[in-house]
Structure 1
Amino acid sequence: MGLIRKTLNWYARLSPSRGKTSPPYEHVVQIGDPRLRKTSEPVPIDKIKTSEVQKVIKTLEYVVNKYGSVGMSAPQIGINMRIFVMKLTAQQVSSFPAEIVKMRGISVVPLTTFVNPTLKVVDFIKVVHPEGCESVRSFSAEVARYKKVQITGYDQNGEPLQRTYSDWAARIAQHEMDHLDGKLYTDIMDRKTMCCVCWEEVNLSKGKVAIPFAPE
């Protein structure tokens, strides 16, 4: 308990101008926040174009770009609505080594919004790759995911939308769908593979490393 209190106090000193905030947040909530463990509620179709729902969608788009992420769900910004966005830009693809791009099947995905999505497994073969999450900041682990899935729902305008994703894009879609059901990748990961992605830097800096929970 002493270590927990020290950690809380240390982070509190980093942001002296603290106060109450209301979701949708422009930051990503972290594991431990109870909203990440709730099953999100469907959005009434006739409410998709309302200012309330559109604000959630716009905030998701803002946050996924702010963090340079490939997917973001409404629970991650403090809202338990069944909405997520996903994207994978050419620049993000090029940031991976060519052999990783080929091995993992990483390809460009246009920014896509899903409201009330449902998932259908198209290819039941499971593939294991390292996976991270902005809500479990600076950690990763190996996770098995289906190779190909179909997502059906509505877009940001309330129009029917269906997409079929394979390989890395399918992994992103499954990861975000899990969030809507109150699940995290830590629930299904290979526990022995979980690691802090900056463990080497921790050693090089003699432990003087701060994990930021938002981009600079």
Structure 2
Amino acid sequence: MATPRNHAPLAEQVEELLAVGGPLPIVAAGDPVLRRGTERFDGQLAPALLARFVEALRVTMHEAPGVGLAAPQVGVPLRIAVIEDQAPVPEEVRLARGRVPQPFRVLVNPAYEPVGTARAAFFEGCLSVPGWQAIVARHAQVRLTGQDEHGRTVDEVFSGWPARIVQHETDHLDGVLYLDRAELRSLASNEAMAQRWTQPTPEKAARALGFDLPAQP
């Protein structure tokens, strides 16, 4: 009798995923792997296999396209995520959201904690919840700790949109989707977003849809 896929050793599971080639399939909300949390990475993948997996995450993130991707989103319950944001947005959006370019980087065993009490609320989406966006109030600044793919220590403060990205991806590793933190009255299809809510800030959406934004410090 074959061993169930979700009981296979993680290295074997990753090898099977990579054998297909090209971008990896992204798991959609409703799959338990997105809710179980993840194993702390402690050498379950040999260095060469880890490098191949990281490259596959990068390719998949770009193809989607997105600005971050966590291992559970491709069905692998390991505490690994990748981020990258070229921030191709107008200047007024960049200034309002603090969206600045982020180079490609790998987050291994990441954790975050807020720096200060300020919160920022903006529309946010997820590759595992395709077609929808909702407003999420997140910490405006966080301290991220963990390692990179080479085992080097990461201890860095992120602000603005990069802080949002690292919170979103780290949440995935804890079995948390952005909808768990969202103002559900703001939930909007991508079509509605394009037609109505392209403003740099969400005040107009809050007034029209009937919800409060967090008070500014």
Q: TM-score range by the shorter chain?
A: 0.7 to 0.9
1:33 to 16, 31, 34: 31
What SS does structure 2 have at the residue aligned with 1:54? helix
The Cα of 1:138 is off from its aligned counterpart by 1.1
2:68 to 67, 71, 95: 71
Equivalent residue, structure 1, for 2:178: 185
The Cα of 1:29 is off from its aligned counterpart by 0.9
2:166 to 173, 194, 212: 173
The normalised TM-score by structure 1 is 0.75
Structure 2 Cα separation of the partners of residues 79 and 23 of structure 1: 9
Equivalent residue, structure 1, for 2:8: none
5+ long unaligned stretches in structure 2 = 1-14, 195-217
Q: What per-residue deviation string (whole Å, max 9, x for no partner) do you get for residues 13-46 of structure 1? A: xxxxxxxx954671211111111111101011x4
What SS does structure 2 have at the residue aligned with 1:29? coil
Please tell me the root mean square deviation across aligned C-alpha atoms, in Å: 2.2
Structure 1 Cα separation of the partners of residues 52 and 165 of structure 2: 23
Relative to 1, partners in 2 of residues 1:67 and 1:200: Cα closer, same or farther, differing over 3 Å? closer
User: What residue identity is the alignment partner of 2:118?
Assistant: I
2:156 to 128, 140, 163: 163
Large movers: runs of 4+ above 4 Å: 46-49
Q: Please state if 1:117 is matched with 2:115.
A: no
Structure 1 Cα separation of the partners of residues 46 and 104 of structure 2: 18
User: What residue identity is the alignment partner of 1:31?
Assistant: A
* 1:1-216 equivalences in 2 (<5 Å): 22-23=16-17, 26-44=24-42, 46-47=43-44, 49-89=46-86, 93-94=87-88, 96-199=89-192
Structure 2 Cα separation of the partners of residues 110 and 135 of structure 1: 22
Relative to 1, partners in 2 of residues 1:165 and 1:114: Cα closer, same or farther, differing over 3 Å? same
Count how many residue pairs are aligned between Structure 1 and Structure 2. Answer: 177
Relative to 1, partners in 2 of residues 1:162 and 1:190: Cα closer, same or farther, differing over 3 Å? same
Structure 1 Cα separation of the partners of residues 187 and 94 of structure 2: 22
The Cα of 1:148 is off from its aligned counterpart by 0.5
What SS does structure 2 have at the residue aligned with 1:38? coil
The Cα of 1:85 is off from its aligned counterpart by 0.7
Percent of residue pairs bearing the same amino acid type = 32
5+ long unaligned stretches in structure 1 = 1-20, 202-216
What SS does structure 2 have at the residue aligned with 1:124? coil
Structure 2 Cα separation of the partners of residues 187 and 101 of structure 1: 26
The Cα of 1:67 is off from its aligned counterpart by 1.6
What SS does structure 1 have at the residue aligned with 2:107? strand
Relative to 1, partners in 2 of residues 1:84 and 1:116: Cα closer, same or farther, differing over 3 Å? same
Structure 2 Cα separation of the partners of residues 87 and 124 of structure 1: 26
